[in-house]
Structure 1
Amino acid sequence: MAKSSKAEISEKMQRKDYEKELGRLQAELCELQEWVKHKGLRVIIVMEGRDAAGKGGTIRALTERVSPRVFRTVALPAPSDREKTQMYMQRYMQHFPAAGEITIFDRSWYNRAGVEYVMGFCTEEQHDRFLQLCPELEQYIIESGIVLLKYWLEVSDKEQERRFKARITDPLRQWKLSPMDLPAREKWYAYSRARDMMLDATDTVHAPWYVLRSDDKKRARLNFISHLLSRIPYEKLPDPDIKLPKRSKKGAYDDQATLAGRRFVPERY
Structure 2
Amino acid sequence: MADKKAATLPRKPYERELLRLQTELVKLQEWVRAEGARLVVVFEGRDAAGKGGTIKRVAEHLNPRVARIVALPKPTERQRTQWYFQRYTEHLPAAGEIVLFDRSWYNRAGVEHVMGFCTKQEYQLFLRQCPIYERMLVEEGIVLRKYWFSVSDAVQEDRFRRRLDDPVRRWKLSPMDLESITHWEAYSRAKDEMLVHTDIAEAPWFIVESDDKRRARLNMIAHLLGSLPYHDVPPPVLELPKRPPSMGYERPPRDLQTYVPDHAASL
TM-score by length of 1: 0.94
Show the counterpart of 2:207: 211
The residue that corresponds to 1:231 in the other structure is 227
- 1:107–1:242 CA distance, 2 compared to 1 (3 A): same
After superposition, the Cα gap between the structure-2 partners of 1:160 and 1:8, relative to the gap in structure 1 and judged at 3 Å, is closer
Aligned counterpart, 1:88: 84
1:248 aligns with 2:244: yes
* Cα distance between partner residues in 1 of 2:5 and 2:141: 38
TM-superposed deviation, 1:94: 0.4
Q: Does structure 1 residue 151 correspond to structure 2 residue 153? A: no
Aligned-residue offset at 1:180? 1.3
Give 2:30's aligned residue: 34
Any stretches of 5+ residues in structure 1 without a counterpart?
A: 1-6
Q: How far, CA to CA, are the matches of 1:264 and 1:245 in structure 2?
A: 30
Alpha-carbon separation, structure 1, partners of 2:53 and 2:179: 22
For residues 137 and 88 of structure 1, what CA distance do their matches in structure 2 show? 11
Q: Which residue in the other structure is 1:189 paired with?
A: 185
Q: 10-19 or 81-90, which moves further after superposition?
A: 10-19
What residue number does 1:167 align with?
163
Secondary structure of the corresponding residue to residue 256 of structure 2 = coil
How many residues align? The count is 262
Q: How far, CA to CA, are the matches of 1:149 and 1:252 in structure 2?
A: 57
CA distance in 2, matches of 1:40, 1:248: 38
Give the superposition deviation at 1:248: 2.8
Alpha-carbon offset, residue 251 of structure 1: 4.3
SS in structure 2 opposite 1:131?
helix
Equivalent residue runs for 1:34-113 within 5 Å: 34-113=30-109
CA–CA distance in structure 2, aligned partners of residues 251 and 160 of structure 1:
63
CA–CA distance in structure 2, aligned partners of residues 105 and 66 of structure 1? 15
Runs of 4+ in 1 over 6 A off after TM superposition: none
Whichever residue aligns with residue 8 of structure 2, its letter is: K
| Displacement of 1:140 | 0.5
Structure 1 pair 9–174 and aligned structure 2 pair: CA distance change class (3 A): closer
**Structure 1 segment 14-33 matched on structure 2, within 5 A:** 14-33=10-29
Extract unaligned runs of 5+ from structure 2: none
Q: In the alignment, does 2:254 pair up with 1:262?
A: no
Aligned mates of 2:232, 2:5 — CA distance in 1: 32
Cα distance, 1:239 vs structure 2: 3.4
1:261: Cα distance to partner?
A: 2.0
